[in-house]
Each structure stands twice: as structure tokens, then as C-alpha cells.
Amino acid sequence: MDDADYIVDLTFEITTTGYDPTRVGRMATRFAGYLPEGSEPIGLRTPRAGTTGVATISVRVPDTGGMALALYAVATSLELTAAEEPEDLVSLGELSSAVIGVARH
């Protein structure tokens, strides 16, 4: 079998409009530090500051035990990151979808 990584894509519906200009960068840095070794954030899209809308996060995770563990690792990293924010997980909005795929190389 070829080596494979997993691509985990999470989509959130952001409903809060509180604006902290340093929040996204601060959270992105912490989030990357919580990911499993060899993981790589490959995409982040957020609504324009002060607006509601859809936010997406994409991460490449090395295969260290299957799809479920890759998804769990990303979700846990996100939860740990959000726990350090003043509004905890509420500040992220509602998770509307989680998709995981295989990236062969």
C-alpha cells in the first residue's frame, strides 16, 4: 500500500460578531502546536471581521492509525485551542460538517 496522509476539513457556522484582531493568528499558532507530529495546516478561511458566516479549517495529518484517529487528533487540537479563548468552544460557532479524505503520495 502507498503511503497516505489524511486531509481533514472542518466547517463552522460563525454566529458571533465580536471582533478581536489578534484572535485568528493567535488561535492558528496554538492550533498548529497541538496537532500530531508531521501534521500541517493547509487552509484556513474565516468570515470578514465583525461578520457572521462560514469558517473552514483544513489539515493534512499523517497516517498513524486510521481515519478516525486523524479526525480525533484534529478535533482535540481544536478543542484545546478554543479552551484557551475567553468564550471557549462557543467562540468557534457550530460545527456544520467534518470531512476526511485520503491523500496518497
Whether 100 contacts 71, CB under 8 Å: yes
Domain span holding position 55: 4-104
Joined together, the cell numbers standing for residue 6 give 489524511
* Global pTM value: 0.80
Structurally, how many domains does the chain consist of? Answer: 1
Residue 54 in 3-state DSSP?
A: strand
CATH code at position 77: 3.30.70.1290
Residue among 75, 79, 13 at smallest CA distance from 46 = 13
Confidence bin at 19 (pLDDT 50/70/90): low
Distance CA 81, CA 90 (A): 12
Confidence bin at 41 (pLDDT 50/70/90): very high
Distance CA 88, CA 105 (A): 37
| Average pLDDT estimate for 69-74 | 92
